[in-house]
Amino acid sequence: MAYHIPMRSDRLAFYHSTLYRLFMKRLAIIAVLASALASCTPAWQQPVAPGDVIFLSRSETETRDNITVTVAVPSEEETQQLFGTNLYKSRVQPVWISVENRTQQRLTLMRNAVDDAYISPAEAAFLRHAGPKQVDSKMDLFFQSAEFKNPVAPGANVDGYIFTNIDEGFKNINVDLLSDTALFNFVFTIKIPGLNTGMEYVDLDQVYPIIENLTATEELQALLQNEPCCTTNQKGTVPGDPLNIVFIGDRSAIMSALIRRGWHVTEINHMKSALKTTRSFVFGSQYLYSPISPLYHYGRSQDLGLQKARQSVSRRNHIRLWLAPYRFRNMDVFLGQISRDIGVAFFKNTLTTHTIDPYVDSTRDGLAGDLAYSQNLSGVAYVAGSQISTEADTHYNLTPDPYYSDGYRAVFFFSEETKALDEIDHIMWLPHWHPSLQPNAE
């Protein structure tokens, strides 16, 4: 049998034709997938007028230097109404901003301050294209018309949307307005409906029938020092992680500081959150709102849980807070616990659980450095009362993980006013200040 061996030109033609067929097959597969994805995205619907959607009732306003800024963030359902498509499904979150300019200079809204990776109107619309070309074109025009338009002339009032990457629970919004001679900064922390967090089930105003208001620092110190050293199990019979932080301030200032620094409220345990947690663990991805286990103080689990995720759900910092039955100079007092998850361990009873960094004081003091950049931290003090734990006399949490601590609680004071780094007070609480803050410690 004779075999025909193609000459060089024949081989090239054969090679190119094979590549062409492979390319066309892949193109066909891509077309089928694109068609399938498009069929999963509903066609664009006629948007509802903003006045008929209630999201503006949750707006927040600040006036300063003859400028009034108002911001609001629609929920997933409200976004569907306002834009005729579910932008949240494409991880896009519109932020509505209104600027009333009563200065003599024109102002420019800096989009990158709102979100450094903001999404253009055309991109946001393209992500949701699903209808015929004519419908998609109308959609594009609508999204362009909805965008905030610069500049804001003297005496003018301009409003519109910036398309941002999605946040759940709370969203920190920076509004920078640039004039020819000055930069005006406004910062908001907006609550967003939809995330199923523990906060939705706790009415902090109804936790205590009567709450004492302290005025003397000595009284506050004494109460904080005499609080239990540690969290407990549900029955209150076994000590857990040390209660090593205290937050004092208005709730809005505390939440603003935490959200600005990348802390997220945590979801409660349910099927959907369990699946997201599993996916984060298996694939090593971030899950910003992963549930945290309950610990107990004042006879109840934490009033507020927050976490700051790192690479995956097995590596994160988390905070648990309990509202105290007393206030200090009309400010809320929260007793809390912070720890740093560094991995996962396997146990017979619980199968898996997080392993904490045993040097909990480093995590506690690291929070001071973190919150210093929030612009809401006004002071830091230390008070005894937490659990002393050493190599010679080691204590354990409920896991049980060992931990080591000097037994001090870091006390953080928060202010609604902006505080620069050099304006944060290092408060010397005699005789219970932290040794490292003592000027002439021996």
List, in order, residues 6 or more apart from 143 with CB less than 8 Å away: 83, 121, 122, 124, 125
Phi, psi of 173 (to 5 degrees): -125, 120
E-assigned strands of 18-122? 60-64, 67-72, 92-101, 108-109
Cα–Cα dist 1/200, whole Å: 82
Does 36 fall in a domain? Answer: no
Residues 92 and 232 in one domain: no
Which DSSP string corresponds to 18-61? HHHHHHHHHHHHHHHHHHHHHHHSPPP-PPPPGGGSGGGGG-EE
CATH number, domain containing residue 158: 2.60.40
φ/ψ bin of 400: left (φ > 0), alpha (ψ from -120 to 50), beta (otherwise): beta
DSSP state of 250: -
Give 324-378 pLDDT, tens digit per residue: 999 999 999 999 999 998 875 544 444 445 689 999 999 999 999 999 999 999 9
Residues 369 and 277 in one domain: yes
Residues 172 and 228 in one domain: no
Residues 205 and 122 in one domain: no
Does 329 fall in a domain? Answer: yes
Q: Average model confidence (pLDDT) for the chain?
A: 86
Give the residue with greater pLDDT, 353 vs 254.
Answer: 254
Give 297-333 pLDDT, tens digit per residue: 999 999 999 999 876 656 788 899 999 999 999 999 9
Residues 243 and 146 in one domain: no
Cα–Cα dist 296/230, whole Å: 9
Does 23 fall in a domain? Answer: no
Residue position matching structure tokens 């849980």: 305
Residues 209 and 174 in one domain: no
Residues 419 and 341 in one domain: yes
Residues 184 and 315 in one domain: no
Amino acid at 93: Q
Instruction: Give the pLDDT confidence score for residue 273 in this predicted structure.
Output: 39
Residues 293 and 158 in one domain: no
Domain tally, the chain: 2
Residues 168 and 112 in one domain: yes
Range of the domain at 129: 50-191
Cα–Cα dist 390/280, whole Å: 34
Instruction: Give the pLDDT confidence score for residue 353 in this predicted structure.
Output: 59
Residues 111 and 205 in one domain: no
Distance of CA 274 to the CA centre of its chain: 19
* End-to-end Cα, the chain, rounded Å: 99
From 191, 206, 235, give the residue that closes a domain: 191
